[in-house]
Structure 1
Amino acid sequence: MPQYAAIIYASDVDPTKPEAADMMKDYNDFHAVAETVIRGGAALYPTATATTVRVTGGKAGDIVTTDGPYAETKEALTGFYLLECADLDEAVKLAAQIPGAWDGAVEVRPIVDFGQ
């Protein structure tokens, strides 16, 4: 069965803080609905905790790091689910139930299976 990444772009909040409790309840509710197809996933800490890595000059070049995200945007990459669904239609239907889709966006993308 194909797998899809449901990549969540939403408000940049820390899901571990008490003020995120209502949002996390919604995510727990989604997890209960979709647990039979969820194969993985994670929430991410806010973008302020990110480190961006670039290599200048190609493969053997210098490693350059920058504190913060790659791009500043209104919505941030806040997490993802790995879903195993019958097809894209099922993945889209589930993605619409992810709380991040309600005030942000969820990008659904097929996973390349290199093991087969």
Structure 2
Amino acid sequence: MTQYLMSVHGSEEEYAKVPEDQWPVMFEAVDRFNKQLEADGVWVFGGGLEGAETATVVDASGDAPVFADGPYLETKEHIGGFWIIEVPDLDAALKYAAAGSKACQGKVEVRPFQAEPPTE
């Protein structure tokens, strides 16, 4: 089985277009989706993130760490939340991502985790 990261991407502009009365509907849909992942036995972890303006970037590649207000990338879209699932293959992950995208009314990127290196 492979673990996949399904990350929800969106922009402040996109979120601002969602009518206020739709937010509870969307949260309920995401909650149902989360419960389905758990019932299907594929749930590993998931959560929503605070806004990108709360990020701190840490760069310790030099002599001393440097801390800067985030986000790391200057972009309109940011990750708003994510799920980690464990499924047999990409096709299964894409089916769950489509359901997650529908629930959160946004784009979902799917990426597999790297395989663990063999132990000796």
Fold equivalence (TM over 0.5): yes
* 2:47 matched residue in structure 1: 42
**Equivalent position amino acid for 2:33 in 1:** F
Contact conserved, 2:10 with 2:78, CA < 8 A, in 1? yes
1:1-116 aligned within 5 A: 1-12=1-12, 20-35=23-38, 36-57=41-62, 61-99=63-101, 103-114=105-116
Task: Show structure 2 runs of 5+ residues with no match.
Answer: 16-20
Q: Measure the CA separation in 2 of the matches of 1:5 and 1:100.
A: 17
What SS does the aligned partner of 1:97 have? helix
Q: How many residues align?
A: 109
Shift of 1:100: 7.2
Higher helix share: 2
Q: Any idea what the Cα deviations from partners look like across 1:8-34, whole Å, max 9, x if unmatched? A: 212456xxxx98433321210211222
Q: Which consecutive unaligned segments of at least 5 residues does structure 1 have? A: none
The percent of aligned pairs where both chains have the same amino acid is: 38
- In the superposition, the TM-score normalised over structure 2's length comes to 0.74
Q: Give the TM-score normalised by the residue count of structure 1.
A: 0.76
Q: Provide the alpha-carbon RMSD of the alignment.
A: 2.6
Contact 1:95 1:108 in 2 (8 A): yes
